[in-house]
Amino acid sequence: MRWVKKLLLKFVVSYVLDYCKDYKGGKEMLLKIKEFLAGKKTILISIGAIIGVLIAYSSGSMEIVEAVKAIIEALLAMTIRAAIAK
């Protein structure tokens, strides 16, 4: 699990740094990050929830019924967010 966190953190940091190449100050960078995350926060949280469910199921701390229910709830959160945005 630690390698997943490191990989995800490395990807996010590299993407933010590439996105903010013309760094002029902290405020501009935060505004660009906020602009990038607009409309993506719910999807990112849902993907994180699905990854967490898969890890919990593979480690044996969650049964298949609970895992399927949690994955369906995460997918519903993504679709509801998309429906509200439109």
Give the pLDDT confidence score for residue 25 in this predicted structure.
Answer: 63
Give the pLDDT confidence score for residue 22 in this predicted structure.
Answer: 55
| pTM of the entire predicted model | 0.60
3-class SS at 53?
Answer: helix
Q: Where are the alpha helices (DSSP H) in 1-63?
A: 2-19, 26-37, 41-59
Query: By C-alpha distance, which of 9, 32, 11, 12 is closest to 20?
Result: 32
* Per-residue pLDDT tens over the stretch 40-79: 888 888 899 999 999 999 999 999 999 999 999 999 988 8
pLDDT, mean of residues 28-38: 78
How far apart are alpha carbons 52 and 85 in whole angstroms? 26
In this predicted model, which residue has the larger pLDDT, 76 or 82? 76
Angle, vertex CA 35, rays to CA 33 and CA 36, nearest 5: 65
